[in-house]
Amino acid sequence: MRFPASRGLWAVLTTAAVLMALNRAYAQQESQKAAQNPYLKGTEGYYKGPRGLTSYQPVAIVQPFAATMAQEVAAKPGIEREHQALLEQRYDLGDHPAQGVTMEHGKPLQEGVRVKLPPGVTWEQLGAMSPDEIRQRGLWPKGFLPLPHPFQPTGGQVFPKEEIDAIKRQDGRDLTRFDVDFDLPERFLAAFPPAMYLTPRPDLGDVSQGKLISLTNYYEMFNGILTPRQLEGLRLLLTPFPEQQFNATDDRKSAIPSQGVACFDCHSNGHQNGALHLTPDTRPEWFRHRTKTLSLRGLNIQRLFGTQRALKTVEDFTEFEQRTAYFDGDIVIAVKKGVNPLERGSQVDFMADFQEMLDFPPAPKLDVFGKLDPAKATPAEMRGQAVFFGKGQCASCHQPPFYTDNLMHDLHTERFFKPVMINNMMAIGDGPIKTFALRGVKDNPPYLHDERLLTLEDTVEFFNLIDGTKLTAAEKQDLVAFLRAL
């Protein structure tokens, strides 16, 4: 039987079209199976090698958002189990509140050394060893190694549950990520919401009135206290803008398209809530450092900004955050996701005006020189002050009255351990770190730039080894008492 020529041609074309469609679908499926992210691939394989194949993240998304989300939601329990096992291997995460001392709002202050020692070793024995001996014998406590992001290959901003719940309740935004949750127990974080103190109005005390300041309440709380310029700066600090994980594209980590995040989503009430990120200024991904949110208290006395970046003004830092850090340091991705280029004269400057009003909390035992008033301090605090300015060498960097020298210092932590891959992060030396102001340190846990030190006792033990000061157990205890008084 013969078909008309037109029908035969139509059959051939239809068959060819079907075959082409099948080939495209097959190729797309194979591409999705095989095409791992080259941004995460080193010269020796994925997560390996001294450098990555590219500094840039992929721009094109090769599968539907729903499929990506489903995969990452399914993978989340395993990722979190692995990270939780790491935390439990490193730390005593139990609830051990200090007696007779609290953080703001009466929140219990966790005490005690939480970093676990290697089996058969004491802190005194470690303190008597040289860095080379500790390194060669593999005795550097695991809790003193750099702490990875809870999901290092993806990184990005992760918020504690208290902040997520409060912003959802007040502003209707959801800062939940579907791929990972915040990792440290709430008991080790600063009191929430933090207090806020203003340098020009110390008479007002905590101007936040125990509330989280957000877009829905800032005007009624501060109208009549701030100038119009400062009010506008505060509004901008509370306004969400697109960010790497929270944006309106299909390359996000929120279930629904997001307006983004605000500066004060991390710096709650101008302080911090424990929110974390990865530093944007290193490649490949597994060499990037976890970074905690710094408190903005006392910003007016600071001369360097960023935990490991020596930015010279808060205006520089504000622009850097929204143009670069918000997007993991990738300016191409920033454009794709909707970067907000703040204007220096009428926006960045206003934001800086407000930030520079944020004050440290009161320290009633300190005199005008930032040292203890003997009439108000306890004997333990006075002994701790003597250790701080003497044998402990703490004041070499942390100088009164604000207990910072406004410099960067390299602690050379790599003296104590060999490079090691930890949950997809390469643990090496930390490099230069900003000297954090210790005023109000009791209300600013956890400690160090990556939150690896959960308590002040952990911090004292860490620096006792780093500085080689060989403090006794009694001297360490007194030093903690002094730090709590700051």
What digits encode the pLDDT tens for the residues 376-404? 999 999 999 999 999 999 999 999 999 99
**Of 47, 83, 50, the residue nearest 425 (C-alpha):** 47
Residues 6+ apart with CB under 8 A from 134: 126, 140, 416, 417, 465
Please answer whether residues 194 and 280 qualify as being in contact, where contact means their C-beta atoms are separated by less than 8 angstroms.
no
Q: Which two tokens stand for residue 46?
A: 């994925």
pTM given for the model: 0.91
Please answer whether residues 301 and 226 qualify as being in contact, where contact means their C-beta atoms are separated by less than 8 angstroms.
no
**Of 330, 325, 277, the residue nearest 154 (C-alpha):** 277
How much is the pLDDT for 35?
63
How much is the pLDDT for 206?
97
**Half-sphere exposure of residue 277: CA atoms within 13 angstroms, side-chain side:** 26
Q: Which residues of the chain have pLDDT under 50?
A: 1-6, 9-34
Gap between the Cα atoms of 149 and 155, Å rounded:
6
- Which residue(s) pair with 241 in the sheet? 261
**Of 241, 160, 235, 155, the residue nearest 194 (C-alpha):** 160
* Other residues' Cβ atoms within 10 Å of the Cβ of residue 385: 25
How much is the pLDDT for 44?
87
Cα-based torsion angle of the residue sequence 188, 212, 279, 81 in order, rounded to the nearest 10 degrees: 50
Q: Which two tokens stand for residue 228?
A: 């119009």
**Of 245, 227, 246, 243, the residue nearest 235 (C-alpha):** 227
* Other residues' Cβ atoms within 10 Å of the Cβ of residue 101: 14
